Amino acid sequence: MAHAFLALAMISGISLTGATEAVADTKAAAIVVDANTGKTLYSSNADAQRFPASLTKMMTLYMLFDAMASGKVSKSTPIPVSAYAASQPPTKVGFRPGQSISAEAAILSLITKSANDSATAIGEYLGGSEQRFAVMMTNKARQLGMRNTQFRNANGLPDPQQRSSARDLALLGIALREHFPQYYDYFSTRSFSYRGRRIVGHNRLLGKVRGVDGIKTGYTRASGFNLVSSVNVDGKKLVAVVMGGTSGGARDAQMARLIEQYLPAASRRDGGNLIASRKNSKVTVAALELPESEDAPLPVQRQEVVSQTANVVTAYAEPAPAPSPTAQILTVPTPSPKVEMAEGDASEVDPVTTASAPAGGWMVQIASVGSPEEAKAMLSKAAAQVGGPITSLSPYTEKFQKGSTTYHRARFAGISSAKAANTACAALKRQNFNCFAIAPQS
């Protein structure tokens, strides 16, 4: 099966080479693929590694669709939200630890609002922990032929080792349609109502560019503005990817131009399932055997204490041995990017400001939550679990307003340098705390 796919890729122009290509200086990359035949109609830096931002959630959804198609999860299955998932920065639904969301509502919250808390909850539910789920995502990427991709979290929040390419994301877009036609219409959702709130989507091409029926937007400061679009007009099908846009409007305009220019060249001939043979093929990443769709996820209840007040919620994990600490998934060059903003579209990002921050240089942020008590509890938990480079730092909370909602950032302040901030973040991430560094205000 793998040889058949490789042959198809060579004929159609979906190249699988370039896995070791160095990260280019520019953020920009793009590709247009005929989804009927697999032929590449346009390509620019398509194999260069880029930060996927919220395009990561395409794979999170692929994994959830796979679980639903196999009968292990239903649309109404409640997905519990841990304290860690609830602590993710905006954009988010805004859960309290111990709440839950149905699988279908979680899908819609990812597609419309790009909800980071929902994505993390899905990852923890399917993988037992977000770290293990990222390994499962990377393994699935290899099965699909995504050779330039490595996942480190379920939502696309900044991580210098989380990488993909325009070509890989086009492959994933085609796979979502081919493997899960019964769920693919979710990607055309423009808005939905949840607990009395109307949540409006970020994909502004839906309903404005003829034939566009999904898929996903994404943004972080380091990635720029990203978009994967699927087009279906009179039997002609395209999947196009734009990465590194300078603004949401510029990204959308570039995508619209690519669709207009290359749709006439697309074929109405159906080439069959281009990547069906890759869905469940056996892949070993490094020396680590990872679960396949028929083996995972089958959630098993375990009990987990999620806060200092000893509130207990039900979490779910697939029983499996811990990965060997020596196993490596994919070695990706680690850059020294500028400090990144939290995930979401530009209008939805938790703005990183330090106007009221205490003096003392760099800070690291681990959460943006609904109350100062939650923020302080997260800081206390992090200090207790991580120790080491965290114990000498000053816990600090900062209130900010977003619309009619008040949030509180949980930060550690008093960090002397960028290197020390990155060291602190690395220690936090090893204990499954989300983290990003904040430079001192000039």
54: exposed, middle or buried (C-beta count within 10 Å: 0-12, 13-18, 19+)?
buried
DSSP designation for 187: G
Q: DSSP of 83-122, one letter per residue?
A: HHHHTPPSS---PPTT-EEEHHHHHHHHHHT--HHHHHHH
Residue with token string 């566009």:
212
Q: Give me the pLDDT at residue 398, please.
A: 85
Q: Give me the pLDDT at residue 417, please.
A: 84
From CA 429, how far away is CA 382, in angstroms rounded? 10
Q: Give me the pLDDT at residue 399, please.
A: 85
- Give binding residues for substrate as ranges: 216
Q: Give me the pLDDT at residue 272, please.
A: 62
Q: Give me the pLDDT at residue 389, please.
A: 74
Q: Residue 98 contacts by C-beta under 8 Å, 6 or more apart in sequence? A: 80, 81, 306, 311, 313
Query: What is the percent of the chain with per-residue pLDDT over 70, rounded to a whole number?
Result: 73
* Residue 316, amino acid: Y
- Give binding residues as ranges: 216
| Domain ranges for the chain | 2-278, 351-438
Q: What is the CA radius of gyration of the chain?
A: 21
HSE (side-chain half, CA atoms, 13 Å) at 336: 6
Q: Give me the pLDDT at residue 378, please.
A: 82
Catalytic residue numbers, as ranges: 54, 57, 114
Contact 149, 138 (CB under 8 A): yes
Residue with token string 């939650």:
374
> How would you label 37-47 residue by residue, b for 16+ Cβ within 10 Å and e otherwise?
bbbbbebebbb
CATH of 351-438, one of 3.90.78.10, 3.40.50.2300, 3.40.109.10, 3.30.70.1070: 3.30.70.1070
Residue whose C-alpha is closest to residue 146's, from 160, 176, 132, 167: 167
From CA 81, how far away is CA 115, in angstroms rounded? 12
Strand partners, 216: 228
From CA 19, how far away is CA 153, in angstroms rounded? 20
Q: What is the pLDDT along the chain (442 residues), one digit of tens a residue?
A: 333 333 334 333 443 333 323 333 478 999 999 999 999 999 999 999 999 999 999 999 999 999 999 999 999 999 999 999 999 998 899 999 999 999 999 999 999 999 999 999 999 999 999 999 999 999 999 999 999 999 999 999 999 999 999 999 999 999 999 999 999 999 999 888 888 888 888 888 999 999 999 999 999 989 999 999 999 999 999 999 999 999 999 999 999 999 999 999 999 876 666 665 556 544 333 323 333 333 334 333 333 323 222 222 223 333 333 333 322 222 222 333 333 334 444 333 333 332 234 445 788 899 888 888 888 888 888 887 887 777 778 888 888 877 777 888 888 887 888 888 888 888 888 888 888 888 776 4
Residue whose C-alpha is closest to residue 245's, from 188, 212, 214, 202: 202
Q: Encoding tokens for residue 277?
A: 């043979």
Q: Give me the pLDDT at residue 420, please.
A: 85
From CA 312, how far away is CA 98, in angstroms rounded? 8
Evaluated on CA atoms 312, 387, 318, 146, the torsion sign reads positive
At residue 276, the 3 state secondary structure works out as helix
Q: What CATH architecture is 2-278?
A: 3-Layer(aba) Sandwich (3.40)
